[in-house]
Chain A
Amino acid sequence: MGWQKQILRVDLTNGSVHKEPLNMDWAQQYLGERGLATKYLWELMDPETDPMSPDNVLIFATGPLTGTMASTSGRYAVVTKGPLTGAIACSNSGGKFGAELKYAGYDLLILQGKAPQPSYLYIADDDVQIIPAGDLWGATVWRTEETLKKIHHDPQIKVASIGVAGEKGVMYACVINDLHRAAGRSGVGTVMGSKNLKAVAARGTKGVRVEDPQRFMELVKETHQLLKENAGVREMTELGTNAMIDAMQDFGGLPTRNFQEVQFEGTEKIDPAAMMETRPNGHRNLVTNKACFGCTIACGRIAHIDKEHFTIVNRKEYWHASGGLEYETAYAFGPVVGVDDIDALTFASFLMNEHGMDPISFGVTLAAAMELYETGVISKQDTDGVELNFGNAEALTVMAEKTGKFEGFGQVLGLGSKRMCEKYGHPELFMGVKGQEFAGYDSRALQGMGLGYATSNRGACHLKHDTFAEDMEDQTGKGKALPCKETQDATAALDSTGICLFTAGAWGSDNLARQVDAACEGDWSTERFVETGERVWTLERMFNLKAGFTAKDDTLPERMLNTPARSGTAKGKISELDKMLPEYYTVRGWNQDGEPTEQTLHRLGL
């Protein structure tokens, strides 16, 4: 158990809905969520398929621990071929939607084809309907969720939807669920829009059973306690993930003004202390912290904007509280675009959730546009008359809204940084890998992070490996390849359970393997669990190789490889990717062209 042992397959082209038994052989090899969805994707589509064509497959996947009392058990993943990158895309999200989908009785929801008209999918246990979206097409994420709950007379419905950004083809549109949780990266929402699918509304009342309830509950008690006692986890509860902004500022790994610098003078105006400060007029940015389903950490922030701030002074509809700044959002609307106005950052964050866009990709794309503007490549004539200088808070919020509504220069920003920089003849200003923009860590200061960015299967990403401790200790490329590989595998295994990565500081693979073992059939030793992660990672790589990627794509922008960091602990350093990458391929059991050897494939049963 753990699994519901049933999947839901929907062909949007002809409107057919099929419930099928879960392939248990695959579940035993790939576990669930990220891993199992990757296997189904591999079996169901040609990796060379155009990601925007109806032949792309879009999978919503829960894990065997999703919906259980294991802490942070609300995760689900959206797996597809990503339009931003052309690589496999795997974005996971918290909130309550994933658990609800599972409670309705499904491990996976597989969407194929393209609906003949804008539609949404309604799932209430066994009752599954494809329903015309009508006026919802063109609506924001927030209005979509509110409307669907009203239409179906059930406030307990959980909704995952796209905004106009996803409908119109912003290349980094998200799937947003529960108002402010996102399957954020690589344009998984763009694929949903290309299928004419506005939303999935789920209601589940079937529950989830585990194999050995008594042992599982003992482990729940033990593992909850481990989280509670962990200092890093406590910091996430108290300060949110934005605590990282002060750490990166001190270290000198905080990408600033499109990665021209690695420290930002305005950090203390947008850090957790600034969020918690009560101002002279009585306003305080932070309202409360908030948990996703099953989460005993509750790193999420709920914030509101000062009503006197220029962004909302005449817009009462934004006077309420909503999802506030987490680290990546603070970085992408702060240092990387040079803005230090916390209300503007918070408003831009609201807009991302409301319109369904990835803040990292948007912020880093805007940063490149600002560099193009400051160097005279583009002018006010291109930017709808907006002065696109670094540090301009109004430019940030105006462009966030234009992009969300796909208007004016927002359509250019919606291309993502790589395509935009190529359009203006300056591909070197794109800060990312495989078409996906960097997260808030500089590859010159954090060497292992650079290797992780270069080799991540979904393009630049900070969430698919963890060499943080090694990077803080030593700023050379030495000894980074093996921990990068090992944590990539462990993370791939974790992402296949339904659990959140933010447990990883307190739980090792052994803690997770034991919980999986108590919940599921099959003997899940730590070794088997981690090997499952390696199998998942390698299959993702195989997908990308078949899609046309080569070792040449495992690289970083020139700025990381040739332009030394200007300040901080890494002053004068460049990325040592050229030393790390060959070693990485070797520890992976791949040849120097970045292809898994026959021996490696055989060992993993691929």
Chain B
Amino acid sequence: MYKSLVLDADKCTSCLQCEMACSMQHEGMFNPARSRIKVFEFEHGARSIPYTCTQCEEAWCLHACPTSAIVINQCTGAKEVINDKCVGCKVCTMACPYGTINFQASSGKVVKCDLCGGDPQCAVACPTGAIVYQ
């Protein structure tokens, strides 16, 4: 049984430490616009909901990809994008029912959560336990 990211909206304060940690890990800078995890706010901030790839068992993004650029990491169960194979066709973004694999204009490729190879930095950064890897 793989570990997964457990997201608890009741504990989220919308501080966005997760988004900054994610972008630092993957982009080398603090840039929420390029984070693989997003926090959505509702009702004047009364509800804050962190949201990212659930690593579906039957991953539609993986099945939809025409170049086999999405593969399963056998250690973590994460569905990862192989950049060299991705041609930026965006079919996976249409296949994903959750909207958590996205096209990045700056690189011309898609990006998604890869669980940071088994040490997801969003969970490390979360100060309230709203994001736990277990």
Interface residues of A (CB under 8 A from B): 67-69, 71, 96, 99, 103, 156, 178-180, 204-210, 213, 217, 224, 228, 287-296, 298, 300, 302, 304, 320-323
Contacts and interface: CB of A to CB of B under 8 A. Distances in A.
Sort A-B residue pairs by CB-CB distance and give the 3 closest, nearest first: A207-B31, A291-B15, A205-B33
Contacts of A295: 13, 15
A282 to B, nearest CB: 17
Contacts of B46: 287-288, 302, 304, 320-321
Given A69-B20, A217-B24, A296 B30 contact: no
B14 A291 contact: yes
Nearest to A209: B29
A144 to B, nearest CB: 14
Given A209-B28, A298-B15, 16 more contacts: A69-B17, A103-B32, A156-B33, A180-B45, A207-B23, A207-B31, A210-B30, A217-B24, A289-B13, A292-B15, A294-B17, A304-B46, A320-B43, A321-B44, A322-B44, A322-B45
Contacts of B48: 290
B117 to A, nearest CB: 16
Contacts of B17: 69, 71, 294, 296
B125 interface: yes
A296 B45 contact: no
B16 interface: yes
Interface string B92-134: 0000000000000000000000000000000001011000000
A207 B29 CA distance: 6
14 contacts: A67-B30, A68-B20, A207-B29, A207-B30, A210-B30, A289-B13, A291-B13, A291-B15, A296-B127, A298-B128, A302-B46, A321-B43, A322-B44, A323-B44
B44 A179 contact: yes
Contacts of B34: 205, 207
B31 A205 contact: yes
Contact of A69 (B27, B33, B125): B125
A304 to B, nearest CB: 8
Contacts of A292: 15
A68 B30 contact: yes
Contacts of A208: 29-31
A440 B127 CA distance: 30
A325 B13 CA distance: 17
Contacts of B24: 69, 213, 217
B69 interface: no
Contacts of A293: 15-16
A498 to B, nearest CB: 12
Contacts of A294: 15-17, 20
B44 A180 contact: yes
Contacts of A207: 23, 27, 29-31, 33-34
Contact of B31 (A156, A206, A289, A291): A206
A103 B34 CA distance: 11
A288 B44 CA distance: 11
A302 B44 contact: yes
A108 B13 CA distance: 28
B37 interface: no
B62 interface: no
Nearest to B48: A290
Contacts of B70: none
B78 interface: no
A520 to B, nearest CB: 14
B107 to A, nearest CB: 13
A296 B15 contact: yes
A296 B129 CA distance: 11
